[in-house]
Amino acid sequence: MAQAQERATSSGRSHRDPCGVCLDCAVRRQAVCAALENHELGALQAIMISTRVGAQQTVVEEGQPRRRVFTLTSGMLRLYTMLPDGRRQITAFLLPGDYLGLGDESSYDQSAEAVVDSVLCGFPVAEMERLMERYPRLQLRLNQMTRIALRQARDSQLILGRLAPVEKLASFLLVLSARQAEHGQAESPVHLAMTRTDIADYLGLTIETVSRSFTKLRLQGLIQLPEAHQVEIVDRRALTAVAGITPR
């Protein structure tokens, strides 16, 4: 497993300054710490270690003891599991503000890797549980985030249930667009930090089929591809029709 590097202060110790770090966090309102008032953040930061991981580095491995949970503060993570035949099935992409380690299992049920250079705040499980007893609002917030994660898992099942590859890709783009909006970003363009191979492993397609599906949506005038990692949604209503989603 690639070794993540802990962010350190000038003295070489892990970064645990007073509340300024958490107060200034760009994703505080989307993350678990949204449950705490400003004057309570010190208790959370006292158990937090900020960690930087490079692109393609492993954060946690499937089956590894679940000793820490994490909030992603920048970058993107891919969650995946290895199938019995050796293929990789990506199950989710985490965005800044998302939480890694929901649930009460004793081990991680999926592996997590950084798609791009990323930063995470890590919390020891035992200390986080004690903090939730002290601040029940933290538990309520985690329950809310668990419900959101379950909804996203349902969205993934709906995407994979589409028959045509172009339907799967259209659904994937619309779900990512909605998630960007939930995180306070514009719905379009959709930022694809992941590779086409990642998208293929998420949708259960080949990379060639993914590329052809992008081309088909572009030729139909539904999207534009100004660059490899950016998709401009040109006709949202038509794209939702292709995806089989009721327009909002």
Q: Which residue has the tokens 């005038």?
A: 221
Q: Is residue 102 pLDDT above 60, yes or no?
A: yes
Give the largest Cα separation in the chain, rounded.
57
As given in the structure block, the two tokens for residue 160 are 């994979």
The pLDDT of residue 151:
87
Sheet of strand 111-114: strand arrangement: 58-60, 111-114, 77-82, 88-94
- Give the tens place of pLDDT for each residue, 27-69: 988 899 999 999 999 999 999 999 999 999 999 999 999 999 9
* DSSP conformation class of 35: G
Per residue in 154-164, pLDDT tens?
Answer: 888 877 777 79
pLDDT in tens, 216-231: 999 999 999 998 899 9
Q: Are 243 and 170 in contact (CB under 8 A)?
A: yes
Closest to 231 (Cα-Cα) out of 196, 184, 182? 196
Separation of alpha carbons 55 and 119, rounded Å: 11
Question: How many Å apart are CA 29 and CA 122, to the nearest integer?
Answer: 17
Sketch out the chain's domains with CATH numbers: 5-153 (2.60.120.10), 162-243 (1.10.10.10)
Model pLDDT for residues 165-219, shown as the tens digit of each residue:
999 999 999 999 999 998 888 999 999 999 999 999 999 999 999 999 999 999 9
State the pLDDT at residue 3.
42
